[in-house]
Structure 1
Amino acid sequence: MSSGLLLVNISIVPSSSGGPRFRPYSTPNQHVTKGRYITSNDPRGYIPVYEYPLNGQWIMLDMDDGYVLWTGIWKGRLVADIVKMIESQPDLASKLRRVRGGYLKIQGTWMPYEIALRLARRVAWPIRHELVPLFG
């Protein structure tokens, strides 16, 4: 059985500033906070993030480069095989950042903000209101 999602091409639009173009904000339902997590998987030695919980997962945005923790979104959405769809896009695979080991909260697949926004528009409709702090 094939899914139409697997056939969707995701165009990559680079951010002009290199960093996040959007700063998440709190809403009546989500309280966005700042965090800083130490990791050996990043040349900085840590990842500074904006974050808030969603369905037992953490929605995070790297403050420095605008990468979004996609794992929190797809687990919050409970979408099966979303990782396979992402990895099936050769132009996207080179843009992904994987964090394994270390602090559990930051482990997973990170991707540029613009790509995460486009992908969320396609697969995260049921949680769209909970993603407003991140994507506006």
Structure 2
Amino acid sequence: MIKKRAIKQQVSDDDDGIKNEPEAYRPYIATNIKIKRTKYSTSLDPRGYIPVYEFTINDQPIMWDRENGYVHFTGIWKALGNNKADIARLVDTHPDLASTIKKVRGGFLKIQGTWMPYEKAYELCRRTCYAVREELVPLFG
């Protein structure tokens, strides 16, 4: 289990259904970062859409699924200045990831890429994302 020290966003009754979403994946409070709550339509997900929290780091969208916590790791990787093709090599060096990741190809460009469970993304970010650690507070605390 991930230990979290930061405070989750406070939610009021008028937040359009946010109270029904798992608290574990709600964003943490961060100053000067605007977090958007939206849905992206896709036929690649059984729900027909992916509901996400989203914000930007270095002009790259940082997203995670509001319902199941899957993190769009491609956005984080590109925010670090890395090439998205390098994610394949990263996954190859962590064989435990291969069975849990989802690769979205086709459809809406913004959601294309590698998605992985929240806990796996957290572990990987602890090892590779020092340069943007403060900007990742809304996601990981």
1:54 aligns with 2:57: yes
Deviation at 1:94, TM superposition (A): 0.9
Name the CA distance, whole Å, in 2 between partners of 1:91 and 1:102: 27
Q: 1:88-103 residue pairs with structure 2 within 5 A?
A: 88-103=93-108
Unaligned runs of 5+ in 2: 2-21
1:72-121 per-position Cα deviation (integer Å, ceiling 9, x unaligned): 10000123534312133332101000111111111110000001001001
Taking structure 1 as reference, are residues 24 and 60 closer, same or farther at Cα in structure 2, changes over 3 Å only? same
Q: TM-score, normalised by structure 1?
A: 0.80
Q: Which has the higher contact order (CA 8 A, sep 6+)?
A: 1
Distance 1:21 1:98 in 2: 23
| Residue of structure 2 equivalent to 1:39 | 42
Which portions of structure 1, spanning 4 or more consecutive aligned residues, are displaced by more than 3 angstroms?
none
Q: Distance in 1 between matches of 2:73 and 2:55?
A: 13
2:75 is aligned to: 72
- Quote the residue 1:131 is aligned against: 136
Q: What is the aligned length?
A: 119
Q: Structure 1 residues 112 and 92 mapped into 2: Cα distance closer, same or farther (>3 Å)?
A: same
TM-score by length of 2: 0.77
Q: CA deviation at 1:26?
A: 4.8
- Identity value in percent: 54
Which residue of the other structure, out of 91, 105, 111, is the alignment partner of 1:86?
91
Cα root mean square deviation, aligned: 1.7
Q: How far 1:28 sits from its partner (Å)?
A: 2.2
Answer yes or no: is the 8 Å Cα contact 1:62–1:68 preserved in 2: yes
